[in-house]
Amino acid sequence: MKSRNSIALRAALVAGCALAPLAAHAQEATRIDPIDVDSEQASAQIANSPITGSRIDRKTLDRKQATTSDTGAVLSSLPGVSAATGGGFSSMPSIRGLSEQRLTVLVDGFAIDAACPNDMNPPLSYTDPQSISSIAVLTGVAPVSSGGDNIGGVISVESTPPQFATSGETLITGNASTYYRSNGDGFGGAVKLTVAGSNLSATYTGSYSQSDQYDGGDNDGIVRSTEYAKTDHALALAWQHATGLLQVKGGIQYAPYEGFPNQYMDMVDNKSWFLNASYAGYYDWGDIDLKAAYRDTDHEMNFLEDKLPGSMPMNTEVHSFDASAKVTVLASPHDTVRLGAEYHHQWLDDYWPPVAGNMMMGPNTFVNVNGATRDRIAGYGEWERHWSDRLSSIVGVRFDSVTMDTGDVQPYGTGMMQMADVQAAAAFNAADRHRSDGNWSGSALLVYDLSGNAALELGYAHKVRSPNIYERYSWGRGSMASRMIGWYGDGNGYVGNLDLKPERADTFSVALALGGEAQGWNLRVAPYYTRVNDYIDAAPTGVVFTDMMGQPTGFVQLQFANQDAEFYGVDLSGAVQITKGSGNDGTHLTASLSWLEANNLSDGGPVYRQMPLDVKAGVAHRSGALELSADVEWVAEKSRVDATRGEPVTDAYALANIGAAYTVSGVRVSFDVTNLFDKGYALPLGGMSLGDYKATGVLRTVPGRGRSFNVGLSTKF
C-alpha cells in the first residue's frame, strides 16, 4: 500500500489544477516555517497537475513579463488555449474553443464579474504578469468543486502565498522589476514588499503599465486604438496558527484609458476596488475553506483620439459579492469527500448620458440596463476514491440556482430617428423580465497509471451556464444602440433575448501522458469532444447597417439566440532534455500542437472566432547565470469563418522570437526580440480594425504586432 504522501500526490493529480493553489497553502500553513516559493518543494507542488492541466510559474512569468502586459496573451502559449483580441491588457482567453465568459476564471480564488457591454474589463485585466505568482489552467474536464455556471475549463491566477519568518525573527523581503518595449514605446514596473513575523505577514504589491499604439509587421503601419495605461495596488494581511491560515486582501485598480482596435468604443476610465477574506483550517478529519469578497467597479467608455471627433459617453457600475464554504472530509484512507456551498451576487447599472446638441443622443439618458441583478446559489458534493495504487477517480454533482431581474429602460428620446429604440423599450418594459434557472451539473474523472512512465485520464462532464446580463437584457434595436453591445470585435450590433435558455454542454476528454523527468522527455496527447445544446450564438434580425450615403457597410444586426454546436480537437505537447548540467543547467526542446474544429449544428457553418491549427516549438538553454531562448510559432490559414458575422479569412503566418538573460549579484537583465523578422500578419481572432476604419475609411482585420526590442530588469531582496 502506498504511503499517505503518495495518496495525497494522486489526489492532487485527479482533483484539478484549480485546487492546486489551495493545496499549496494547506501544506505550508500547517507549519510555522518560512515559505520559500522558489524552493524545490514548491516546484514539485506546481508539477502535481492533472494530465489535462498546465501551470505557468513565476520563473516563466519572469521571462515573459518584459514582452507583454496581458495575462491572456501569456496563457495563449499553452496548448488548447488562445486569446481573442481586446485592449492592451484585456484579451479574452478561450479554452478549446469556449470563450472566457464560458470558463471559470478565478483571481486568488475569486470570480470577477464583467462590467462592460463590450467586455473591456474581463477578469484577467485585473492582473499583471509582473506581479502574479502563478497561473493554473485546466483544459480538460474540471471537477464540480472548481466552480459552476460554466461549460469550459478553469483558469486560476494566484498571488504569492503569504511568507512568514522563523520563530522570533522578522522577515523583510520583496522584489522589483521594470521593462521597456520599443514597439509602442511601452514601459512599466512592479514592486512587492513583505514584512512578516512568525505568525503575521503583510505584503504590498504595486504595478504600472503604459504603452502607445503599436506598429504592425512589415508594411502594416500603425494599429490605431491600441494605447493603454493602468496601475494596480494591493495590500495582503495573513495570520497563521497551528491549524489554520486567515487572509485579508484589499486593492484598487485605475486604468485612465485603454484603446480597443476592434470596437467602436474605447475605455476612458476604469476604477475598481475590492476586499477579499479567506480562512483555511486543517484538521485531522479534513479541511475547511471559507471565503468572502466584495468588488465595486465604475467603468466609462467614449472615444480616444483615433475615433474622434464626437462623443458618446457610456457608464457602467457593478457591485458584486461572493461567499463560499467548502469542507473536505477524509472519510477513509482511500476516500475523500468534498461538500460545498456558494453564493454570488451581481448588480449592474448601464446608462449613457445625453450629448448636448446631438439629436440622436438626447435629450434623455439612455438606460441600457437598469439595476439588473444576477444571483447564484449553489451546492455540490464530490467523492474521490483511490481504488488501488494505480487507479483513482473523482465524481461529483452540483446544483446552481440562477435568478435574474432588471428594471425599466428608456431610449435617448422619442424622435423619429429614435423610433426603433422607442418601440423596443416599450416592448421590453411591458415584458416579464424575471428569470430563474435551475442548473444541474456533474463530472467524472478516472486516472490510471499504466506504468511508471505512462498515465491515462478519462473524463466526462455535463455543465450548464445561464446567460449573462447583457445576453438577456440588452434591448436596443436602433443601429447605434445595438452596435454598442458585443464583445466579438466584428463590427456588428447585438440585441439581447429574454427567452434565452441556459447552455448545456457534454464533454468527453481523454489524455495520455508518457515519459517523465527521469526519462528526460515527456509527451502528452489529449483529444476531446464537446456538444453544446442551446449554445448562445447569434441570428440575423434582418437589419443591415448603412453609411451616411445609404450604402451597406458589411455590418449587420444580430440577436443572441440558442443554437446547437460541437467542438472537437486534439492538443499535443512534449519536451526533450537535450543536455543536462548541474542544478537547473541544461538545454531543453519543447513543442506543442493544437487543432480544433467547431461547428454550429443549427446553421451548418463554423462557430465564430476559433483558432486555426497552431504549432509551436522552442529551445531554451541555461548555463549558470546565462539564459538563452528561441522559439517559433506557425499558424495555419483561417479559412473556416462564420458567414453570419462576416468573419474575415486570415492567411497563414510564422513568427520567430529570441531572448537572452543574465543574472549578476541578484539582478536579472533580459533582452528579447519578438517577431524577429517583422512579419506582417492578421490576427486570426482579432476581428475588424475599427479604430483604423474610423481614421482612414479603410476596413481591414486587426494586424499583429511587428518587431519589438524588449528590455527587462528585475531583482529580489
Angstrom distance (rounded) from CA 461 to CA 195: 44
Closest CA to 629 of 59, 209, 178: 59
Q: Which pLDDT value is given to residue 102?
A: 97
582 contacts 594 by C-beta, under 8 angstroms: no
DSSP H or E segment with residue 12: helix 4-15
Return the pLDDT at 114.
86
Which of 202, 199, 226 shows the shortest CA–CA distance to 215? 226
Once rounded to an integer, what is the mean pLDDT over residues 350-367?
Answer: 96
Instruction: Give the pLDDT mean for 609-635.
Output: 97
Residue 29 has pLDDT above 50, yes or no: no
The pLDDT tens digits for 66-113 are 999 999 999 999 999 999 999 999 999 999 999 999 999 999 999 999
Q: Which of 612, 629, 609 minimizes the C-alpha distance to 620? A: 629
- Phi/psi of residue 487, each to 5°? -115, 30
Residue 363: the pLDDT is 97
Q: How far is CA 390 from CA 38, 445, 514, 647, in A?
A: 30, 14, 15, 48
**What digits encode the pLDDT tens for the residues 436-490?**
999 999 999 999 999 989 999 999 999 999 999 999 999 999 999 999 999 999 9
Residue 113 identity (one-letter amino acid): D
> How do residues 186-227 score in pLDDT, each as one tens digit?
999 999 999 999 999 999 999 999 999 999 999 999 999 999
Radius of gyration of the chain (CA): 25
Would you state the pLDDT for residue 50?
61
**CA count, 13 A, side-chain hemisphere, 449:** 15
Picking from 97, 96, 108, the residue whose alpha carbon sits closest to that of residue 138 is 96
Helical pair 20-29 and 4-15, crossing angle rounded to 10 deg: 150
Across 544-569, average pLDDT: 95
The CA-to-CA distance between both ends of the chain, in Å, stands at 44
Q: Are 108 and 131 in contact (CB under 8 A)?
A: no
> Does the predicted model carry a pTM greater than 0.85?
yes
Enumerate long-range contacts of 281-287, CB under 8 Å, 24 or more apart.
281/243, 281/244, 281/245, 282/26, 282/29, 282/30, 282/243, 282/244, 283/243, 285/329, 285/330, 286/327, 286/328, 286/329, 286/330, 286/336, 287/26, 287/327, 287/328
Instruction: DSSP for 339-360, please give it.
Output: EEEEEEEEEEEEEE---TT-SS
Q: CA 674, CA 395: separation in Å to the nearest integer?
A: 44
